[in-house]
Structure 1
Amino acid sequence: MCPDLATGHPDALLDGTVITAVRTGATSALSARLLARADAAVLAILGTGVQARSHARAICRVRPIREIRVAGRDPARSAALADELGAELGVAAEGAGSYAEALEGAEIACATTADGEPAVQRPWLAPGVHVTSVRAVGRELDDATVAEALVCVESRRAALAPFPAGTVDLVEPLRAGVIGEAHLHSELGELVAGTRPGRTSDEQITLYKSVGVAVQDAAAAALVLRAARERGVGTEVPL
Structure 2
Amino acid sequence: MLVLGRREVETLLDMDALIDALGPAMVDLSEGRASVPDRVAAMVPGQDGFLAAMPGYVPSAGVLMTKLVSLFPHNAGTPLPTHQAVIAVFDPGTGAPRALLDGTAITAARTAAASALSARLLARDDATVLALLGTGVQARTHAHALCRVRPVRHIRVAGRDPVRAAVLADELGAVLKVEVVAVPTYAEALDGAHLVAAATHSVDPVVRRRWLAPGAHITSVGFNRGGREVDDATIADALVCVESRRAALAPFPAGSNDLLFPIRDGVITADHVHAELGELLNGSRPGRRSPEQLTLYKSVGVAVQDAVAAGLVIAAARAQGLGDEIHMFD
**TM-score, length-scaled by structure 2:** 0.71
CA deviation after TM superposition for structure 1 residue 28, in Å: 0.2
Distance 1:187 1:116 in 2: 26
Distance 1:72 1:18 in 2: 22
- SS of the equivalent of 1:87 reads helix
Matching of residues 155-234 of structure 1 within 5 Å: 155-234=244-323
Distance 2:288 2:143 in 1: 22
Counterpart of 1:238 in structure 2 is 327
Unaligned runs of 5+ in 2: 1-87
Distance 1:4 1:56 in 2: 34
CA deviation after TM superposition for structure 1 residue 195, in Å: 1.2
CA deviation after TM superposition for structure 1 residue 164, in Å: 2.0
Counterpart of 1:59 in structure 2 is 146
Distance 2:196 2:171 in 1: 18
Matching of residues 8-47 of structure 1 within 5 Å: 8-47=95-134
Counterpart of 2:7 in structure 1 is none
Aligned length: 239
- Specify which structure has the higher proportion of strand: 2
CA deviation after TM superposition for structure 1 residue 21, in Å: 0.3
CA deviation after TM superposition for structure 1 residue 234, in Å: 1.3
**TM-score, length-scaled by structure 1:** 0.98
Distance 2:204 2:257 in 1: 13
The C-alpha deviation readout for 1:78-97, integer Å capped at 9, x for no partner, is 01101100111110000011
CA deviation after TM superposition for structure 1 residue 230, in Å: 1.6
Distance 2:242 2:110 in 1: 15
Q: In angstroms, what is the RMSD of aligned CA positions? A: 0.8
Distance 2:223 2:100 in 1: 25
Distance 1:194 1:232 in 2: 39
Which one-letter code corresponds to 1:81 in the other structure? L
Distance 1:121 1:31 in 2: 20
Matching of residues 63-212 of structure 1 within 5 Å: 63-137=150-224, 138-212=227-301
Distance 2:249 2:133 in 1: 24
Distance 1:231 1:52 in 2: 30
CA deviation after TM superposition for structure 1 residue 232, in Å: 1.7
Q: Which moved more, 1:156-165 or 1:125-134?
A: 156-165
CA deviation after TM superposition for structure 1 residue 235, in Å: 1.4
- SS of the equivalent of 1:14 reads strand
1:49 pairs, out of 120, 136, 149, with: 136
Contact residue 135 and residue 159 of structure 2 kept, 8 A: yes
Instruction: Report 1 or 2 for greater relative contact order, CA contacts < 8 Å, sequence distance ≥ 6.
Output: 2
Which one-letter code corresponds to 2:190 in the other structure? L
Unaligned runs of 5+ in 1: none
Distance 1:12 1:192 in 2: 30
Distance 2:124 2:252 in 1: 33
Distance 1:86 1:33 in 2: 22
CA deviation after TM superposition for structure 1 residue 8, in Å: 1.4
Contact residue 202 and residue 223 of structure 2 kept, 8 A: no
- SS of the equivalent of 1:13 reads strand
CA deviation after TM superposition for structure 1 residue 46, in Å: 0.2
Distance 2:321 2:202 in 1: 41
